[in-house]
Amino acid sequence: MFIEPIIRNSKKGWIEVVCGSMFSGKTEELIRRLRRAQIANQKVEIYKPTTDTRYDENDVVSHNDNRIPSIPVANSQQILLLAGDVHVIGIDEAQFFDEEMPQVAAQLAVRGIRVIIAGLDMDFLGRPFGPMPNALAIADYVTKLHAICVVCGDIANYSYRKTISDATVLLGETDVYEPRCRTCYHL
């Protein structure tokens, strides 16, 4: 008796998360990984939330002006609708997406797509930020980056807000935020 083998998806997908505080190099690392995929002739798509307009409405841009074209989307479900026949999908500023973002990443990975997510793991109050905790929980690979504390020079993993505002989402750069270590953050 012949038993037909189960044919599995030969394209293997997975989820990578790059996280850390403000100024730790998350977007720079995302761009680096995406460019390496492009060098390997892999098809790449990059998405960012429409709310992130700090440097450019469309491009994903790092603090040192390294940039890559992206597609701004209003919610994570749009990524599923727009994702074409690609090998790699990058998602920047993932903390600003809705709570479904990790499930969207998981669905893409099941399709055989490598998904690279970059975002803040904590908000300015030091609390887990948006969908990032769930993205970290389901990730196959996690990279936590650190900035340098502007007060003492140690490694920094907190985003200290220098302005007074209770809003969880407040776009800004060095005028609004600075990286701090645990000790200097709590001063």
Domain ranges in the chain are 14-146
pLDDT band at 89 (very low <50, low <70, confident <90, very high): very high
* CATH code of the domain made up of 14-146: 3.40.50.300
Q: What is the largest CA-CA distance in the chain?
A: 74
Does 45 qualify as catalytic in the annotation?
no
For 47-67, what is each residue's pLDDT tens digit? 999 987 676 667 677 667 677
Residue among 91, 55, 85 nearest 71 (CA): 91
Q: How many CB atoms lie within 10 A of CB 8?
A: 7
pLDDT, average across residues 35-55: 90
The phi, psi pair for 117, rounded to 5°, reads -110, 130
**Given 4, 93, 100, 173, the catalytic residue:** 93
Tokens for 46, please give them.
């990059």
Enter the DSSP assignment of 128.
B
| Helix (H) or strand (E) segment spanning residue 82 | helix 76-82
User: Comparing 82-86, 135-139, 167-171, which segment has the lowest mean pLDDT?
Assistant: 167-171
